[in-house]
Structure 1
Amino acid sequence: MPNLLPVFRITALLEGVSYILLLFIATPIKYLYEDPQYVKMLGMPHGILFIAYVIMAVLISSDMKWPNRTLWVVLLASVIPFGTFYIEKKYLNKSKRA
C-alpha cells in the first residue's frame, strides 16, 4: 500500500476546517438568519471528508504502528472541534515520526 500519510494529513486539515466552518459559521447563520444555504453547501463536502478521514485513519494505523487506544483517539478527534489539529500536532508531525 502506498504511503497514505501525506494524503491523510491533508484530509485531516480539510476535515477540521470544514467542521469548524460548519459548526461556527454555517449553523449559526442557519438558525439566526433562517438561511440553511451554507449548511447545505458545506454539509456534503464535510461528510465526504469525514468518511475519508475515518477510512484513512484505519488504513494507516498499521503503517504507523498505532496501538488500538491511539487509533480510537484519532477517530474520536474527528468529532471534536479542533480535534484533527491536535492529532496533526501529536501523532502526524514529521518530527515525531523520525
Structure 2
Amino acid sequence: MDIKTASSLRRLRLVSAPEAVSFILLLICSVLKRTTDFDAVRPMGYVHGMLFVLYVIFWLDAWNRTKWSRGTGILYFVLSVLPTGGFFAERKLKREAEAAVIAARARKEGIVNA
C-alpha cells in the first residue's frame, strides 16, 4: 500500500467515529427538542452535516485509491448512514490498515504467502 492510499484510509477512519457521535447527538437533540424546551438541532445538524460531507469525500477518495469491490465500498457508505455505523467502520478500517502494514513488511522482508 502506498502512502497516499494509507493516508486516505486514515482520513476516513479519523472522521468515521466523530461522524457517528454527531449523528447520535443529533438524534438526542431532536428528541429533546420535541420533549423539552432545549433546542440544539440547528447547530448539531450543522456539525453533523459537515462531518457527513467530509466522510463522503474521504470515502470516495479511499474507494478510488484502494480499489475496493463494489460491495465493500457500499458497505462503508451504508455504515455512514446508520447511527452507530461509524464506530464499526472505524474498527474495520483499522483492521484493514493493520493488515496492509503487515503485508507490506512481509513483502519487504521477502516473506511470500504459500
Give the TM-score category using the shorter length: 0.7 to 0.9
Question: Aligned pairs, how many?
Answer: 96
Residues 51-97 of structure 1: CA distance to partner in whole angstroms, max 9, x if unpaired? 11011101111322311111111111111111011111123433233
Residues 27-49 of structure 1: CA distance to partner in whole angstroms, max 9, x if unpaired? 1111110432x111211010011
Corresponding position of 2:86: 84
Read off the aligned partner of 2:78 and give its amino acid letter: L
> RMSD value over aligned CA atoms?
1.8
Q: Tell me the TM-score normalized by structure 2.
A: 0.74
- Separation in 2, partners of 1:97, 1:33: 49
Unaligned runs of 5+ in 2: 102-114
Read off the aligned partner of 1:39 and give its amino acid letter: V
Q: Tell me the TM-score normalized by structure 1.
A: 0.84
Residues 2-43 of structure 1: CA distance to partner in whole angstroms, max 9, x if unpaired? 4222222221111111011111x211111110432x111211
Q: Which runs of 4+ in 1 moved over 3 A?
A: none
1:16 to 3, 7, 20: 20
Which protein has the larger Cα radius of gyration, Structure 1 or Structure 2?
A: 2
Unaligned runs of 5+ in 1: none
Corresponding position of 1:47: 49
% identity of equivalent residues: 31
